[in-house]
Structure 1
């Protein structure tokens, strides 16, 4: 298991920040899941009470990512086909965007949440493609990994320039750069949000070190290493540094790619196939190559 997080470091990182509590809808849904035999109708009824949330659920479920063979017209249908746990996970990711940080229209906030959605979906599709039984957890990591960014930006409007500088600087840990300038890091805040919102211990561990990768690679379980590797592969394939850091440099991939590929049992040439599969699922990426007609 990855090394425990220093509580003193957490207290320092949280100074001035308030971790948003788990929304009532999630508490009610989790209570139903915790019964051991969740009632699909009860879960779908809870979700359907919020028209906006249920609309988002149907939009995502009917997207190419889920590759369903027929149109889903109700939340109850979605629960029956995908399972209650996966639908609750999807609702959690939707609620995250509207409960963390400042929800006012803003290009940087939009970039954070749009890339989080793309990362979550890419992580899930990569797991499907590689036949890894960690797709649900990988999706959650993709969705939550940058939640701390939204929290920091709500307090520090100069944050985009700080994160851009960190992405463009070789031999610097992005979390360390944030701590140096702001006294906190988005990986620690993302960890605290995920823990507060009831994500699994393994997922929270990976979030706590998703830019301090060597901590996971050195002391984490194979499960944690696998989850982190899927996230880092997705970030590389989607060129996340170009979206959030305004650079095509990818120093984390340069530093950790050998370990990532080894853990996932991949060779570099396999990335073309993964890119093509992501493209077929509606996820554009740098490894998809247009084929001549």
Structure 2
């Protein structure tokens, strides 16, 4: 049977679970200038699973709090609104999408890599003087198209996994070989349909080919964050052959990071990831 076209793939989006209400409210708060912290905290607290995961991270050694926080409101005050919103979005995305059973695909490793890329992007935000929330979100969603392909067309994606294993090639190359497009295009189309900001859509579309993204956009940073997550082996895949991304040296050079800054980013990425692991459930 012929694999679905990109339009057919995107047309099946309604079969995916909608984004949790709490995530929608957090995204709205990121777009608005005036934020009522009390209202936002109440909205987050309505989801007990997400609240529990976020509070476990907020009380982790990474934030070095002198006393434990017991509510989302207190966590926002002590840890900061930006950090809590990022944690809520991560917990929402990870808990809101369905479990997947597909031979050769580990959902646990997938989420570890996605979270690792998000915290690497967040760590890059400081030396690059870029918005940490937008980078975290772009990193968190950068492979969401792959999950959509898996959920909507599991038989086709099993074929993709077989191609990648037989040819010892990157998964995105196997996706293009079978479907004629890859998860980047699917993810960008989904993000656009879900009304995500244009810079997030662009980052999802071009994180494997940052030279084609918006000049000065987020794609190059997510491209590098993706590579950092792989280099630190945060998904515990043992650096399997064929899975390491091809690094665009021009995009990396354009970021202008020196060795001291890079070492600080690597250390912060590992520390954040270790503290954020409770979000994985």
- TM-score for the superposition, normalised by structure 1: 0.73
Deviating more after overlay: 20-29 vs 158-167: 158-167
Q: CA deviation at 1:205?
A: 0.7
State the secondary structure of the residue aligned to 1:208: helix
* Aligned residue runs from structure 1 range 29-108, under 5 A: 29-30=26-27, 36-66=33-63, 70-84=67-81, 86-102=83-99, 108=106
**Residues 21-51 of structure 1: CA deviation (Å, up to 9, x unaligned):** 3333333445566663221111111111221
The counterpart of 1:182, out of the listed 160, 164, 179, is 179
Give the superposition deviation at 1:10.
4.7
Answering whether residue 150 of structure 2 is matched by residue 153 of structure 1, we say yes
1:160-175 matched pairs, under 5 angstroms:
162-163=160-161, 166=164, 174-175=171-172
Determine helix, strand or coil for the equivalent of 1:96: helix
Cα–Cα, structure 1 residues 67 and 116, in superposed 2: closer, same or farther, change >3 Å?
farther
| Match among 266, 269, 273 for residue 278 of structure 1 | 269
Q: Flag the 1:38–1:29 CA change in 2: closer, same or farther, 3 A.
A: same
Deviations 1:105-138 (A, max 9, x none): 996111111221222122212333x253232222
Contact kept in structure 2, 1:119 and 1:231, CA below 8 Å? yes
SS in 2 for 1:112: helix
Q: Which moved more, 1:12-21 or 1:55-64?
A: 12-21
**Partner-residue secondary structure (3-state), 2:246:** helix
For 1:130-279, what aligned pairs fall within 5 Å after superposition? Answer: 130=127, 132-154=129-151, 155-157=153-155, 159=157, 162-163=160-161, 166=164, 174-216=171-213, 220-239=214-233, 243=237, 246-247=240-241, 250-253=244-247, 256=248, 258-267=249-258, 271-279=262-270
1:22 and 2:19 correspond: yes
What secondary structure does 2:237 align onto? Answer: helix
Unpaired runs of at least 5, structure 1:
1-8, 285-293
Give the drift of 1:94.
1.4
Distance 2:221 2:186 in 1: 19
State whether residues 53 and 94 of structure 1, in contact with CA within 8 Å, keep that contact through their aligned partners in structure 2. Answer: yes
- The 8 Å contact of residues 65 and 125 in structure 1, kept in 2 or not, is answered as no
More relative contact order, 1 or 2 (CA 8 Å, 6+ apart) = 2
In structure 2, stretches of 5+ residues that fail to align are: 276-281
C-alpha contact (below 8 Å) 2:102/2:158 kept by paired residues: no
What do you get for the CA RMSD once the two structures are aligned? 3.7
- Distance of 1:199 and 1:115 partners within structure 2: 22
CA contact (8 A) 1:145 1:187 kept: yes
Aligned length: 268
Kept in 2, the 8 Å contact 1:124–1:136? The answer is: yes
SS at structure 2 position matched to 1:243: coil
| Residue 124 of structure 1 pairs with residue 115 of structure 2 | no
Change (3 A) 1:238 1:134: farther
| Cα distance change, pair 25–281 in 1 and its aligned pair in 2 (3 A) | closer
Deviates more, 1:33-42 or 1:73-82: 33-42
Name the CA distance, whole Å, in 1 between partners of 2:240 and 2:20: 33
